[in-house]
């Protein structure tokens, strides 16, 4: 299972959550996990995101029906919603390839979406900083006018 993601150019990071070892799968240069490989009593399981699961179920119903076991793992709060168990990685290679492909496609779209959101936030921060700078400048001009007016009034009184 690792092989398909490695061939696709993903980064595989061995991690640990409590006593459980797993492999996080990421797009190159990202810290965002698109999937994870866990061991299971039934063989190996690939933990996937909700949208990947929905796409597999809706777009590829025949392939989806071939999965040995699909378990809801959202309650574990590890960022994944479903675990797809594969009994025999050699026999199920085409299914694994399909899940890998859909996960990678989703991961790339999600990365692009997150990047766009971050750029929009950055632009908003810049705009806000510019507005605040303009406001400070206007206030400084008003203070200067006020001081100038006070000094003129004071010199006229003398």
> In this predicted structure, which of 18-32, 77-91, 98-112, 134-148 has the lowest mean pLDDT?
77-91
Listed by start position, the domains of the chain span 2-117
pLDDT score, position 124: 92
Q: How confident is the prediction for the chain on average, in pLDDT? A: 77
Q: Is the pLDDT of residue 128 over 90?
A: yes
Q: What is the pLDDT of residues 36-49, one digit of tens each?
A: 887 766 667 777 77
pTM of the predicted model as reported, rounded to 2 decimal places: 0.57
Q: What is the pLDDT of residues 17-75, one digit of tens each?
A: 777 788 888 887 777 788 888 776 666 777 777 777 777 777 777 766 666 567 777 66
Question: What local confidence, expressed as pLDDT, does residue 34 receive?
Answer: 80
Structure tokens at 62: 């025949």
Mean pLDDT of 100-119: 80
Please tell me the predicted confidence (pLDDT) of residue 131: 92
pLDDT at 129: 92
| Per-residue DSSP letter, 33 | E
Residue 74: both structure tokens together: 């959202």
Question: DSSP for the chain?
Answer: -HHHHHHTT-EEEEEEETTEEEEEEE-TT---EEEEEEEETTEEEEEE-HHHHHHHHHH-HHHHTT-SEEEE-GGG-SS--EEEEES-TTTTHHHHHHHHHHHHHHHHHHHHHHHHHHHHHHHHHHHHHHHHHHHHHHHHHHHHHHHHHHHHHHHHH-
């Amino acid at each position: 299972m690792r092989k398909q993601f490695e061939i696709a150019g993903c980064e595989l990071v061995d991690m640990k959550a409590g006593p459980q070892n797993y492999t996080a799968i990421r797009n190159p240069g990202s810290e965002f996990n698109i999937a994870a490989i866990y061991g299971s009593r039934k063989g190996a399981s690939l933990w996937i995101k909700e949208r990947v699961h929905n796409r597999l179920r809706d777009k590829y119903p025949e392939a989806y029906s071939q999965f040995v076991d699909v378990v809801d793992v959202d309650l574990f709060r590890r960022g994944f919603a479903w675990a797809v168990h594969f009994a025999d990685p050699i026999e199920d290679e085409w299914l694994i390839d399909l899940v890998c492909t859909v996960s990678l496609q989703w991961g790339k779209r999600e990365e692009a979406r997150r990047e766009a959101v971050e750029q929009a936030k950055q632009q908003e921060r810049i705009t806000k900083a510019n507005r605040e700078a303009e406001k400070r400048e206007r206030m400084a001009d008003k203070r200067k006018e006020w001081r100038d007016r006070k000094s003129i009034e004071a010199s006229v009184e003398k």
